[in-house]
Structure 1
Amino acid sequence: MNVRILLPLIIVSALTGCQTIKEVPVKRIVERKVEVPKSLLSCSAEPVAGSVWITQRDVARYLVQLAAAGEDCRTKLAAVKRLVDAQ
């Protein structure tokens, strides 16, 4: 067989074996600034504990106000988390 004819065929077949047809998608990276409303950046103030509580009602009112302040912070933090997770 003629080597001059056979050698180019071998080279061409070897090169086509290395060729890929798989397309690789390019991911587009988009940075977005998360804007958190100022109303979500501060919590209700913690109530001041009384130095002299005369009745159990005074203590109960303080505990209710303390729980309300904590709930306010937890609610606002959950809203901020939803905003950040949505991005």
Structure 2
Amino acid sequence: MIRAPLGDSRYWSEWVEYSDQSIVDALETAAKPAGDPDYAPQHVFIIAQKHWHQMLSRYSAGCPIADLSRYFPGLLDAWEEAERLGA
């Protein structure tokens, strides 16, 4: 059951898969030393954004609501790390 009328199941499957890989790629990039440490908080906060966007995308795609909770710990971890780095 798709909850958003923006696309069909193939559309949502492609975006959900892309976003999962995008989170993995962002985490790998964040694990490497940054060229300018002043950008580190923003980069890590983008990881938090990717998690909540994935939650919204999966919800819109009609995924079971119980499946959305797996993105919440990553969202909180990235948000807290961005706050720590920015302090």
Compute the TM-score of the two structures, normalised by the length of structure 2: 0.39
The structure number with the bigger radius of gyration is 1
Compute the TM-score of the two structures, normalised by the length of structure 1: 0.39
The structure, 1 or 2, with the larger RCO (C-alpha pairs under 8 Å, 6+ apart) is 2
Q: Which has the higher helix share?
A: 2
